[in-house]
């Protein structure tokens, strides 16, 4: 909107050259207002919004069935330990997690703020959703209520729903396949299926076993680019989550190496 308004004003005052100058100036003003000033301040604001939105969402997911399980608490603890948080940040993360657990606390505002701060960075939003999927599937399954909440979060942060569904399938979720028939089977098979998903290199790369070398290589390179820790931090990932991003990148690299070995490439 700033570009359009600035361009129109510039055109009326100085023709085509004025339009270009006005559009550029409008863009700079918009960026300054929305991001809080300098690029460094914008990045810091994005990092804070990611941090808060993640932990309140994790808390909301954990309390969704009315009881926060030990597995869910342990998962949150693992993430905080990997982040090597200072005592102050750790207390803040716990505070946000507990906020999310409260039935009368709405996470919509935090998610909307994260959407605004992260702007068009799909890779940052994807990483955010992957963390929530990890949290939801810690017990070996993603039930209907968890699925619905993740979809709501997906829409609130401005991530394409179709890409979320593809991500869930990539992680071994069969929620979208034969929902009615498989609903009764999920609990009995939940742990084996989660284990298989985590060890299947094709699912890690998001490709079918029948995919050819070019398709698998393309998927691998895309995932590596999306999960590059330095790129994610530059887009607003909290630096404390660098270790988590590095581990995800390593799992993608390992899956690629496993596929190459299986195929004899």
The string of pLDDT tens digits covering residues 36-72 is 556 778 888 888 999 999 999 999 998 887 888 888 8
How far is Cα 177 from Cα 124, in angstroms, rounded to an integer?
27
166-193 per-residue burial string, b: 16 or more CB within 10 A, e: under 16: ebbebbbbbbeeeeeeeeeebeeebeeb
Q: What is the pLDDT of residue 176?
A: 45
DSSP-assigned letter for residue 20: H
Interval 204-220 mean pLDDT: 86
How far is Cα 135 from Cα 4, in angstroms, rounded to an integer?
42
Both tokens assigned to 177:
């396949």
The string of pLDDT tens digits covering residues 227-265 is 888 888 877 787 777 777 888 888 889 988 989 888 888
pLDDT over 50 (residue 186) = no
CB atoms within 10 A of CB 106: 11
Q: What is the pLDDT of residue 193?
A: 40
Q: What is the DSSP string of the chain?
A: -HHHHHHHHHHHHHHHHHHHHHHHHHHHHHHHHHHTSSHHHHHHHHHHHHHHHHHHHHHHHHTTTSS--HHHHHHHHHHHHHHT--HHHHHHHHHHHHHHHSTT---HHHHHHHHHHHTT-HHHHHHHHHHHHHHHTTTS---HHHHHHHHHHHHHTT--HHHHHHHHHHTT--TTSSHHHHGGGHHHHHHHHHHHHHH-HHHHHT--TT--HHHHHHHHHHHHHHT-HHHHHHHT--GGGHHHHHHHHHHHHHHHHHHHHHHT-
How far is Cα 197 from Cα 173, in angstroms, rounded to an integer?
8
Percent of the chain having pLDDT more than 90?
A: 20
pLDDT over 90 (residue 108) = yes
Q: Nearest to residue 225, comparing CAs of 252, 189, 202, 243?
A: 252
Measure CA 90 to chain center.
20
How far is Cα 199 from Cα 215, in angstroms, rounded to an integer?
20
Q: What is the domain partition of the chain in residue ranges?
A: 1-35, 39-174+198-263
């Amino acid at each position: 909107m700033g570009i359009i308004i600035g361009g129109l004003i510039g055109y009326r005052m100085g023709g085509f050259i004025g339009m270009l100058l006005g559009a550029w100036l409008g863009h700079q003003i918009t960026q300054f207002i929305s991001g809080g000033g300098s690029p460094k301040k914008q990045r810091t604001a994005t990092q804070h919004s990611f941090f808060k939105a993640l932990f309140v969402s994790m808390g909301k997911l954990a309390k969704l069935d009315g009881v926060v399980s030990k597995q869910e608490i342990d998962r949150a603890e693992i993430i905080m330990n990997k982040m090597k948080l200072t005592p102050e940040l750790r207390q803040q993360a716990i505070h946000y997690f507990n906020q999310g657990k409260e039935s009368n606390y709405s996470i919509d505002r935090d998610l909307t703020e994260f959407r605004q701060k992260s702007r068009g960075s799909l890779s940052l939003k994807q990483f955010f959703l992957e963390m929530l999927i990890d949290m939801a599937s810690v017990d070996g399954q993603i039930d209907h209520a968890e699925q619905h909440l993740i979809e709501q979060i997906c829409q609130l942060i401005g991530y394409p729903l179709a890409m979320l569904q593809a991500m869930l399938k990539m992680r071994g979720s069969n929620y979208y396949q034969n929902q009615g028939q498989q609903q009764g089977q999920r609990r009995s098979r939940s742990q084996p299926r989660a284990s298989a998903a985590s060890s299947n290199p094709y699912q890690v790369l998001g490709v079918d076993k029948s995919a050819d070398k070019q398709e698998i290589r393309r998927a691998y390179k895309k995932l590596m680019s999306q999960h590059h820790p330095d790129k994610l931090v530059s887009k607003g990932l909290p630096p404390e989550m660098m270790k988590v991003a590095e581990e995800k990148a390593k799992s993608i690299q390992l899956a690629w190496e496993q596929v190459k070995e299986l195929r004899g490439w």
